[in-house]
Structure 1
Amino acid sequence: MVALQVACRKADSISPDDNPDSEWLSGGSQTAFDQGGGAFSHAFASLPANLVRIHEIGDGQFNATFVSAPAPLNPGLGPVFNNVSCGSCHVADGRGKVPGVGESAANMLFRLSIPGEGEHGNPVPVPGYGDQLQSRALLGKPREGDIAITYTETTYHFADGATYKLRAPTYTFTALYTTMPGNVMLSPRVAAPIFGLGLLEAISDNTILANADADDKDGDGISGKPNMVWDVLKSQKVLGRFGWKANQPTLLQQVAAAYNGDIGITNFLFPKESSEGQTQFDSDPNSKSYELTDSLLHSVQFYVRSLAVPARRIATDAKVVEGKGLFKSAGCIKCHKADMRTGVDVSLPQVSNQLIHPFTDLLLHDMGAGLADNRPDFLATGTEWRTAPLWGIGLTQKVNGHTNFLHDGRARNLMEAIMWHGGEALSAKNKVNNMSKSERDALVAFVESL
């Protein structure tokens, strides 16, 4: 179903016609005016009828449940997998939730590798497991294993004496089908929101690279660097921009890889089963077909590409305005860049030449030992993560029913997420630590307005 623009407007809202360059319009002309549970699921405005139809098909396919073959609809699940549909993890096109106590970690993704570099500089898959742990399997087939999560909670103090708590996760392999190497590197991931990705894809490489400063030549302590990753379609290294470590170059590859690794669905970019080479399965060496048609794969790619961004809320509120100033003075703005302009894409004019406000530079930054997964991914080191976009983050509770943030969902609210920052963000965190309670509240109010 294509979500329509909300017709009613709050007193403090504006329409795209009032000021095309307003900070209210997070997605430029592709901004949706909805503050409810469907805020992340609106199609771009002014799509022609043929593209509306493709968006609709992609929407249905994104939420389609796959089953084991043979089947008349959506066959090919597994044999091992993490979930049965894209929408099972990206609920309402939003943020994944970490499991509660005693729950399976099946809705999280765990990247795996062993030390070294693959043929294209990629992480080296784990023998018998591949590059992620699949925690589910078809009936009669053994799953690869699961992960148990425990947390250690520690109390800290702000400079004014107020306390806050941070919980550090520990991950333990359970129910493994075969021995896991002792030198395996594990990286937990929760599903990230998917709205606005088409606009991020439309930002030119030159615009992103202009913000890179890998050697910190300007001496500001921020040394954002690009990740250069393997483009399967082009068979060459290109700029990465999607994923927690910017390890995917395009939405097409991101979607195709997720189908293959998360659901066990082969496609023209990834024609081999994700379980191929694992000892518990026999693959058919003569098979030359794949399970997801090109047209359906491209429809899902277009669905993700054409999801609009929710508008800012209460941007003129005095507390929010104060928080905006604190966000800048603390230095958060150095990585979470407020403004970007997309390039020209003749294939989709809706994403062209848009002033957007994603609050990311799409670059890698050292976030310190506290957030490290210690697993390199192409040029990303074990302490580096791509700056996460902040647009729409204040609607997470409304859309997804929780406020779990960061790559593994360890933060239970925005302030915890801020206080986990280290490395290049340590100076900014220390400035937040020294703020008064009213200033901290204003800072959070600003981020929640995005």
Structure 2
Amino acid sequence: MPGPLHRLLPLSLIAALAACDQAPQFTRAEPGEALSGGSATVFKADRNAFSLPSANLAPSRRLDFSVGNSFFRNPWVMAPATTTARDGLGPLFNTNACQNCHIKDGRGHPPEPDALSAASMLVRLSLPAGDEHAAIIERLGVVPEPTYGGQLQDMANPGVAPEGKVRVSYSPQVVKFADGYSVELRRPTLEISQLGYGAMHPDTRFSARIAPPMIGLGLLEAIPEAAILANADPDDSNVDGISGRANRVWDRAQERAVLGRFGWKAGQPTLNQQNAEAFANDMGLTSALVPQDNCSASQSACLAAPNGGDSRPLENVGEAAEPVFNAVSATQVVLQQPASEVSDNILASILFYTRNLGVPARRDVDEPQVIAGKNLFHAAGCQGCHTPQFTTAADAAEPELANQKIRPYSDLLLHDMGEALADNRSEFLASGREWRTPPLWGLGLSEAVNGHTQLLHDGRARNPLEAILWHGGEADAAKQRVLTFSADERAALLAFLNSL
């Protein structure tokens, strides 16, 4: 006899679920399913939903969170400045505050046609790698463009020319479902103009990237490496068409290659390095981990500009200057470095803040339509990459992050997403067609937090349905199943995704 759930569902949904015998059949919410971040889960669903400290963070530690938040939120200024510790911005940069990219700790978006800068979208640059570049690839993961480095900076301090202007244009592409319903996708074309330092190398590869949400990053860092690697299947030994694999990237602190977890291609190993690289590349701010400004040999005004650490104690520099790897010229050089613009204390405050941004609770997990959508999510095979849950390690970096059952809906592995999404730019082991599975937690709150639902690495998808329809490669079979869904089934799938 049909259960109470089936009495509430359209017949088309019941038929679709019955046909998928191998997929899990959920009839109610799982215990604790609403707690996406375990006991760190927060309970806000408004514009501030992504900006709260983990719910289990002790009051005495919330002050540390607030200090980190101030450095994340407030703007930095160019050097020299006598009234603030936040000087040293630039000379070349993309923005003057972390919050400008990760708006309300959420996701960025492509630039509007009249925007002064790309702000919350940046453009990575590199050249194709050959055997002669092995040492560079080991350290940087890419071969930087000789003049403009690994990232285009579209803003600069007075007296220094910005590197260029970034815009995106779109052309339509229509996709039809089996029932005739059509969706118009927008295919992006990246436009770079007003180059400040001459033409780029003709073989330059470009990759537009919007800023991802900041929630739950400490929990992702706390997932045991073995648990991530357990889902890897680089040779597709399961013969399911899904062959997720781990990226191996250079850890600056450990001086060795380790598992990559963060970034659109899992190109960063730790949150601390992710933060330090963002300070350097996005804001032109040096730290002990990334001690050199992002200036190439041909950018003389950039090289001559004041450094914000010039008047500070040499707290982050040894008595003898050590060789550093220049991320623009891709060479190892000895520089007499001033003190870091981002001190060790500030970097630690930012690390604590980014580790402890809480994940919002799911909504409507018991609603029949949401449960039906969850079944369809599994029936389509989406969970093959968007792994629903993990348990964090007992020895996590912060006690609040330890032993938590979390539901990020990501395996943190690389997957071939097909030619339509390819940027043709490799990064460490990631190919030009591979991307790390982005976590889906918080997806349904994007509109509330950021006022838009632009998704994927370059923001081309304007909503979750468009994002699904861009999937290819290893995810093509799942997309083809979704294309058979009826209107009721599409609504149920989206209800589930918006509950995350």
| Residue 149 (structure 2) aligns with | 130
Deviations 1:14-35 (A, max 9, x none): xxxxx99511100000000111
Partner of 1:179: 199
Equivalent position of 2:316 in the other structure: none
Would you say 1:208 and 2:232 are equivalent positions? no
Work out the CA distance in 1 between the residues paired with 2:31 and 2:96: 40
Corresponding position of 2:5:
none
Greater CA drift, 103-112 or 420-429: 103-112
Q: 1:279/1:271 Cα in 2 relative to 1: closer, same or farther (>3 Å)? A: same
Q: Over residues 65-113 of structure 1, what are the superposed CA-to-partner deviations in whole Å (9 max), with x where a residue is unaligned?
A: 0111111211100000000000011011001022223434233110000
The answer on 1:157 being equivalent to 2:176 is yes
- Residue 79 of structure 1 is matched in structure 2 by 91
Offset, 1:276 = 4.5
Rounded Cα–Cα distance in structure 1 between residues aligned with 2:152 and 2:490: 39
Query: Could you tell me how far 1:345 is from its partner in structure 2?
Result: 2.2
2:475 equivalent in structure 1: 425
TM-score (norm 1): 0.94
Higher-Rg structure is 2
SS at match of 2:45: coil
Moved more, 148-157 or 361-370: 148-157
Instruction: Answer whether contact 1:198 1:351 (CA < 8 A) is retained.
Output: yes
Which 10-residue stretch deviates more, 111-120 or 41-50?
41-50
TM-score of the two chains, using structure 2 as the length reference: 0.84
**For residues 399-438 of structure 1, what are the structure 2 equivalents within 5 Å?**
399-438=449-488
Residues 40 and 57 of structure 2 are in contact (CA less than 8 Å); yes or no, is this contact kept in structure 1? no
Question: Is contact 1:129–1:278 with CA below 8 Å preserved after alignment?
Answer: no
- Matched-pair contact (CA < 8 Å) for 2:280–2:293: yes
- Partner of residue 106, structure 2: 94
Identify the range of structure 1 (39-48 vs 201-210) with the bigger mean alpha-carbon deviation: 39-48
The match for 2:363 is 313
Amino acid at match of 2:373: G
Amino acid across the alignment from 2:208: P
Separation (CA, whole Å) in 2 of partners of 1:308 and 1:49: 14
CA distance in 2, matches of 1:21, 1:288: 54
**Aligned residue in 1 for 2:421:** 371
Residue 310 of structure 2 is aligned to residue 290 of structure 1: no
Task: Confirm or deny that 1:386 pairs with 2:447.
Answer: no
**Greater helix proportion:** 2
Q: Deviations over 1:179-200 (max 9, x none)?
A: 1111001010000001100000
CA distance in 2 between counterparts of 1:119 and 1:213 reads 24
Q: How far, CA to CA, are the matches of 1:79 and 1:275 in structure 2?
A: 8
- Once the two structures are TM-superposed, the CA of residue 147 in structure 1 deviates from its matched residue by 1.8
Shift of 1:51: 2.3
Q: Give a deviation string over 1:394-422, Cα, whole Å, max 9, x none.
A: 00000000010000000011100000000
What is residue 70 of structure 2 aligned with on the other side? 60
**2:49 is the alignment partner of 1:28:** no
**1:240 and 2:250 equivalent?**
no
**What residue ranges of structure 1 are gaps of 5+ in the alignment?**
1-18
Residue 349 of structure 2 aligns to a residue whose secondary structure is helix
> Could you tell me whether the CA contact under 8 Å between 2:101 and 2:119 is conserved in 1?
no
Q: Is the 8 A contact 1:20 1:28 kept in 2?
A: no
Give 3-state SS (helix, strand or coil) of 1:147's partner: strand
Residue of structure 1 in register with 2:79 after alignment: 69
Counterpart contact for 1:106–1:146, Cα < 8 Å? no
Q: SS state of the match for residue 32, structure 1?
A: coil
Amino acid at match of 2:377: F
Q: Closer, same or farther in 2 for the Cα pair 1:158/1:343, shift >3 Å?
A: same
Q: Please say if residues 28 and 354 of structure 1, whose CA atoms lie closer than 8 Å, have aligned partners that are also in contact.
A: yes
Residue 220, structure 1, aligned to residue 240, structure 2: yes
Amino acid at match of 2:107: R
CA distance in 2, matches of 1:48, 1:317: 33
Question: Could you tell me whether the CA contact under 8 Å between 1:24 and 1:312 is conserved in 2?
Answer: yes
8 Å contact 2:421–2:433 — kept in the other structure? yes
Contact 2:90 2:157 in 1 (8 A): yes
Aligned to 1:258: 278
What residue identity is the alignment partner of 1:253? Q
Partners of 2:345 and 2:76 lie apart in 1 by: 17
Contact 2:127/2:143 (8 A) holds in 1: yes
Q: Residue 278 and residue 234 in structure 1: after superposition, are their counterparts in 2 closer, same or farther (change >3 A)?
A: farther
Could you tell me which amino acid in structure 1 is paired with residue 290 of structure 2?
F
CA distance in 1, matches of 2:91, 2:31: 49
For 2:237 and 2:497, the matched residues in 1 are separated by: 29
Give the root-mean-square deviation of aligned CA atoms: 1.5
Match in the other structure for 2:210: 190
The answer to whether the Cα contact below 8 Å between 2:391 and 2:406 also exists between their aligned partners in 1 is yes
Query: What residue is the counterpart of 2:124 in the other structure?
Result: 111
How many pairs does the alignment contain?
A: 432
Q: 1:21·1:28 contact (CA, 8 Å) conserved in 2?
A: no
In structure 2, what is the Cα distance between the partners aligned to 1:159 and 1:58?
50
